[in-house]
């Protein structure tokens, strides 16, 4: 029906409809795939790498780049899920505890029954998914802010993890997961497998969030959940999904964490990981109030956080300085977001 009203011929003055400017070929229909903040991050990381390779010749060797890439992988991988969660206006501070529960159960099962690699991964991902589902159900149906819910489950999951631990460590873990490690078995052509897996998942998530209706709905929910509901979006299902995806990725990340360790697993595994992940997401330009963000930024944020940690270690500086730098990056990123919101409101 509306086509009859909307065709240019229907205009009273008979003018042709305005045509979108075709500035030399393809017109840009979406905001640039790389935001300003991401460009800044790329430049900062490049400068840091340049400075570090000048300061310590050991930096640009596979002996330090590979651990750096393997080290950032769990942060970036969980960061993919966390980006979706934060885009919807939520947050998940329980991911460290999810990693703990998953890794201890997988480690003990491997010690007990010699679990093969595919089953170990499946087990970890399944447990992560269930814990994510717990978060998702409570948040989507509980109408309590996500930070309260996940702060509760953080402690709850940690309790479960400690019960499974029994004693303080798990000893004699077989090297089943070496495929994801930083050693020779974890690399092909010098590139760590876990890093590639993370990149593939991040790329899929990036495409999904940017180019599918379902992905765009996460942004709509974070922008205005009431308006999203009125637009016919199933807000609860989407929110539930965001936490389940984060749980699944935390499960997978726990395999990477296990592979990085030695044959023993201590009870403090995963503790503080949630802060590194949230730092990576925020530094990557995802707005903490929701509605805006990208996986590319998160991966860059994780790379920056890990570069700082590696750099501080290699320069022989005190490790607290790494916290200082990450803290400053977070404040700068949040400040940039606030200034952006203010200037928009003022205009």
Partner 1 sequence: MTTPQPSTPSTDRARPARLSVSGVSKRFGAVRAIRHADMAVQPGTVHALVGENGAGKSTLIKILSGAETADAGTITFDGAPVSITSTHDAMALGIATVYQEPQLFAELTVSENVFTGRELTRGGRVDWAAQNAKVVELLDLLGLPARYATATVGGLSIAEQQQVSIAKALAGDAKVLILDEPSAILTDREVEVLFSVVRRLTAAGVSIIYISHRLDELFVIADEVTVMRDGQTIGTHPIADLDVRQIVELMVGGILDDARPDRAVPPGDPRLELRGLGLAGQFHDVDVSIRPGEIVALYGLIGSGVAEIGATVYGMARATAGTILVDGEPVRPRSPREAKDLGIALLPANRKEQGLFSFQPISFNISAGHLPLLSRLRVWVDRRREREVARSMISRLSVKTPHERQAVSALSGGNAQKVVLARQLVDRPRVLVLAEPTQGVDVGAKEEIHRIITQLADEGTAVLIVTSDLAEAIRIADRLQVVRAGTTTTEFGPGATQVDVLAAAAGAEDEQEVTA
- 346 contacts partner 1 (rule: CB under 8 A): no
E-strand ranges in 234-288 read 265-266
Task: Give the footprint of partner 1 on residues 266-295 (CB under 8 A).
Answer: 287, 291-292
Looking at residue 169, the DSSP 8-state letter turns out to be E
- 29 contacts partner 1 (rule: CB under 8 A): yes
Among 46, 51, 147, 227, binds partner 1 (CB under 8 A): 227
- Number of residues counted as binding partner 1 (CB under 8 A): 44
CA distances from 51 to 83, 153, 315 (A): 29, 41, 11
Q: Which residue has the tokens 């897996």?
A: 197
**Least spacing, CB of residue 165 vs partner 1, in Å:** 43
Q: Which is nearer to partner 1, 19 or 189 (CB)?
A: 19
**Least spacing, CB of residue 174 vs partner 1, in Å:** 41
**What gap in Å lies between CA 193 and CA 240, rounded to an integer?**
30
Task: Give the footprint of partner 1 on residues 292-321 (CB under 8 A).
Answer: 292
**Least spacing, CB of residue 342 vs partner 1, in Å:** 12
**Least spacing, CB of residue 43 vs partner 1, in Å:** 24
Question: Can you spell out the DSSP letters for 17-40?
Answer: PPPPP--SSSPP-SS-SS-HHHHH
Q: Which residue has the tokens 């966390």?
A: 82
Say if residues 246 and 97 touch (Cβ distance below 8 Å).
Answer: no
The SS3 assignment for 305 reads helix
Say if residues 100 and 154 touch (Cβ distance below 8 Å).
Answer: no
Say if residues 200 and 104 touch (Cβ distance below 8 Å).
Answer: no
- 167 contacts partner 1 (rule: CB under 8 A): no
Say if residues 35 and 294 touch (Cβ distance below 8 Å).
Answer: yes
How many Cα atoms sit within 13 Å of 264 on the Cβ side?
Answer: 7
**Least spacing, CB of residue 24 vs partner 1, in Å:** 15
**What gap in Å lies between CA 67 and CA 177, rounded to an integer?**
16
- 233 contacts partner 1 (rule: CB under 8 A): yes
Q: What backbone phi and psi angles, to 5 degrees, belong to 169?
A: -135, 160
Among 9, 25, 28, 57, binds partner 1 (CB under 8 A): 28
Among 14, 24, 30, 172, binds partner 1 (CB under 8 A): 30
**Least spacing, CB of residue 209 vs partner 1, in Å:** 11
Among 111, 130, 152, 216, binds partner 1 (CB under 8 A): 216
- 20 contacts partner 1 (rule: CB under 8 A): yes
In the shown chain, the binding pattern of residues 89 to 118 toward partner 1, with x for contact by CB under 8 A and - for none, equals ------------------------------
H-helix or E-strand spanning residue 152:
helix 146-165
Q: Which residue has the tokens 């309590």?
A: 144
Among 232, 316, 318, 319, binds partner 1 (CB under 8 A): 232
Q: Which is nearer to partner 1, 89 or 186 (CB)?
A: 89
**Least spacing, CB of residue 20 vs partner 1, in Å:** 5
Among 98, 198, 209, 220, binds partner 1 (CB under 8 A): 220
H-helix or E-strand spanning residue 191:
strand 191-192
- 213 contacts partner 1 (rule: CB under 8 A): yes
The SS3 assignment for 143 reads coil
| Contacts with partner 1, residue ranges (CB under 8 A) | 1-8, 10-12, 17-21, 27-31, 211-213, 216-217, 219-220, 222-224, 226-233, 287, 291-292, 344, 347
């Amino acid at each position: 029906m509306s086509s009859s009203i909307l065709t240019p011929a229907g205009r009273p003055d008979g003018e042709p409809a305005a045509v979108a400017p075709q500035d030399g070929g393809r017109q840009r229909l979406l905001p640039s795939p790389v935001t300003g903040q991401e460009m800044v991050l790329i430049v900062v990381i490049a400068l840091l790498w340049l400075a570090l390779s000048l300061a310590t010749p050991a930096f640009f060797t596979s002996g330090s780049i590979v651990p750096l890439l393997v080290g950032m992988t769990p942060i970036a991988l969980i960061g993919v899920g966390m980006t979706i969660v934060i885009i919807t206006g939520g947050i998940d501070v329980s991911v460290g505890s999810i990693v703990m529960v998953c890794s201890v159960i997988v480690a003990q099962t491997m010690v007990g029954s010699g679990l093969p690699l595919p089953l170990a991964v499946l087990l970890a991902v399944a447990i992560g998914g269930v814990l994510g589902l717990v978060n998702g159900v409570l948040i989507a149906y509980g109408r309590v802010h996500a930070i309260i819910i996940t702060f509760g489950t953080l402690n709850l999951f940690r309790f479960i993890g400690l019960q499974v631990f029994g004693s303080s460590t798990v000893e004699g873990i077989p090297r089943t997961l070496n495929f994801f490690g930083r050693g020779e078995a974890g690399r092909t052509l010098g590139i760590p497998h876990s890093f590639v897996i993370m990149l593939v998942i991040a790329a899929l998530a990036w495409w999904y969030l940017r180019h599918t209706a379902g992905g765009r709905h996460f942004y709509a929910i974070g922008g205005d959940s009431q308006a999203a509901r009125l637009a016919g979006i199933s807000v609860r299902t989407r929110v539930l999904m965001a936490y389940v995806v984060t749980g699944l990725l935390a499960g997978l990340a726990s395999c990477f964490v296990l592979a990085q360790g030695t044959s023993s697993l201590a009870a403090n595994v995963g503790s503080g990981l949630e802060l590194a992940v949230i730092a990576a997401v925020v530094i990557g330009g995802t707005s903490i109030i929701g509605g805006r963000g990208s996986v590319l930024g998160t991966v860059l944020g994780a790379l920056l956080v890990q570069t700082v940690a590696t750099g501080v270690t290699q320069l022989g500086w005190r490790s607290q300085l790494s916290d200082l730098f990450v803290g400053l990056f977070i404040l700068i990123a949040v400040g940039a977001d606030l200034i952006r919101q203010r200037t928009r409101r003022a205009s």
